[in-house]
Amino acid sequence: MMKHIETVAVHAGRAVEPGTGAVTPSITMSTTFERGRSGNYSHEFVYTRSENPNRQRLESALAMLEGGAAAMAYASGMAATAALFQTLRTGDHVIIPTDLYHGSRDLVNQIMQRWGLAADAVDMRYVDNVQRAIRPNTRLIWIESPTNPSLNIADIAAIAAIARQNDILTAVDNTWATPILQQPLALGVDVVMHSTTKYFGGHSDVLGGALIVAEDGELAASLRTMQLLVGGVPAPFDCWLLLRSLPTLPLRVRAQTATAARLAYFLDAHPKVQRVHYPGLPTHINNDVAARQMQGGFGAMLSFEVIGSAETAMQVAANVQLVTRATSLGGVESLIEHRASIEGPHSPTPDTLLRLSVGLEHIDDLMADLEMALATV
């Protein structure tokens, strides 16, 4: 019987160790594993780049949480994204969203295009735009929903259906929603990508990435080859830390999401705020799509544009005291960031936009901190 996700989060990838009775998994630091007398590998492990007990535990847990057939863990979210793009061939065409994690955009534009991949960026809030961008050589549609940093929503099931008709692979960067709120494989996509650095890790102390596939077939085999031959695999300790964080994932994500939703309404009503980007607000253009494809909330990320200039936004970020002014997201502590300045000179992000990663602090304290910082401008 399929267990509830809270139970899966606690037990997936874990088993009492037969040799010692250890309830918590040990960390296997060994990079190499002994062969038997006949030269065979009796313990199945050979060399840690190809497989390691801690990575195996993490991968099986990630596959179960996303409802996939297999998972491949990488050293970072970017390494996972790159591994998927590296399974494509020169001359293939990909469709990406106009608004997405800037690292993914730069990977496609600065590296993959140089290797002969063709790419088009479309506004995926409208399914028709995706349909129109399909070419005979389109091999992959890369979706991010909600997007970073504009919280745009793409209709995942609709795009996956179009892709399937055209024999095109679909992948969703599910970093912001997590499988607690959104399960893209159940919506018909082929691959889910995670920066496990964010909510899976949850404590801003470990870097990681993963790809979870719907079927353990040809694609899974090439992604394992990418682990082995490109080598961007996570260290055993990093896998251990990530597995350690999984049991609290459902609780953390739900609590952080509940606070974020209330902050979105608070900021939306604030006289110093021009606009709030949060898919849970009824004014969000794809609020209905988000409500259909997400369960239990709209996530713990939001962004807002202050009235004024880039300097006004910078001043708000400088004046918060409880919220930390730093990049990244998904940790237990709330973070605020002026996005355009980290995305670089070609960033399409408005320079009055601040992104907020809502942590586990009490709502009243967060609200008071933001109120105080907004009062200074």
Ligand X SMILES: *Cc1c(COP(=O)(O)O)cnc(C)c1O
Q: Is residue 90 within 8 Å of 115, Cβ to Cβ?
A: yes
Nearest approach, Cβ of residue 197 and ligand X (Å): 4
Cα–Cα distance list, 64 to 61, 69, 205, 241, 351 (Å): 5, 8, 23, 18, 40
Q: Which of 86, 129, 148, 349 binds ligand X (CB under 6 A)?
A: 148
Structure token digits, residue 18:
């037969």
Q: Is residue 212 within 8 Å of 195, Cβ to Cβ?
A: no
Stretch that binds ligand X, among 40-48, 126-134, 194-202, 259-267 (CB under 6 A): 194-202
Indicate the helix (H) or strand (E) that contains 335. strand 335-338
Of the candidates 55, 57, 92, 101, the residue annotated as catalytic is 101
Cα–Cα distance list, 171 to 83, 174, 189 (Å): 12, 9, 6
Nearer to ligand X, 144 or 155 (CB): 144
Of the candidates 105, 198, 339, 355, the residue annotated as catalytic is 198
Nearer to ligand X, 59 or 173 (CB): 173
Q: Which of 28, 48, 54, 76 binds ligand X (CB under 6 A)?
A: 76
Interaction pattern, residues 89-108, with ligand X; x per rule: CB under 6 A: ------------x-xx----
3 flagged as catalytic: no
Of the candidates 173, 190, 238, 369, the residue annotated as catalytic is 173
Q: Which of 59, 173, 190, 343 binds ligand X (CB under 6 A)?
A: 173
Residue 47: alpha-carbon gap to chain centroid:
28
Hey, which residues does 67 pair with through a beta bridge? Answer: none
DSSP H stretches of helix in 23-95: 53-66, 77-85
Q: Is residue 142 within 8 Å of 171, Cβ to Cβ?
A: yes
Antiparallel, parallel or unpaired: β 191-195 and 209-213: antiparallel
Nearest approach, Cβ of residue 211 and ligand X (Å): 12
Regarding 357 and contact with ligand X (CB under 6 A), the answer is: no
Stretch that binds ligand X, among 58-66, 72-80, 108-116, 318-326 (CB under 6 A): 72-80
14 flagged as catalytic: no
Regarding 343 and contact with ligand X (CB under 6 A), the answer is: no
Question: In 36-55, which positions are buried (b, 16+ CB within 10 angstroms) versus exposed (e)?
Answer: eeeeeeeeebeebeebbbbb
Nearest approach, Cβ of residue 181 and ligand X (Å): 14
Q: How many chain residues touch ligand X (CB under 6 A)?
A: 15
For ligand X, the nearest residue by Cβ is: 77
Nearest approach, Cβ of residue 40 and ligand X (Å): 37
Q: State the Cα torsion 252-368-302-243 to the nearest 10°.
A: -20
49 flagged as catalytic: yes
Q: What are φ and ψ of residue 32, in 5° steps? A: -135, 155
Regarding 78 and contact with ligand X (CB under 6 A), the answer is: yes
Q: What are φ and ψ of residue 306, in 5° steps? A: -85, 155
Q: Which of 33, 45, 176, 298 binds ligand X (CB under 6 A)?
A: 176
Regarding 195 and contact with ligand X (CB under 6 A), the answer is: yes
| Burial class of residue 186 (count of CB atoms within 10 Å of its CB; 0-12, 13-18, 19+) | middle
Regarding 197 and contact with ligand X (CB under 6 A), the answer is: yes
Q: Which of 53, 184, 209, 299 binds ligand X (CB under 6 A)?
A: 209
- CA pair distance 279, 77, nearest whole angstrom: 23
Residue reference for tokens 């609590």: 255
Nearer to ligand X, 70 or 78 (CB): 78
The contact set with ligand X (CB under 6 A) reads 76-78, 101, 103-104, 148, 173, 175-176, 195, 197-198, 207, 209
Active site residues: 49, 101, 173, 198
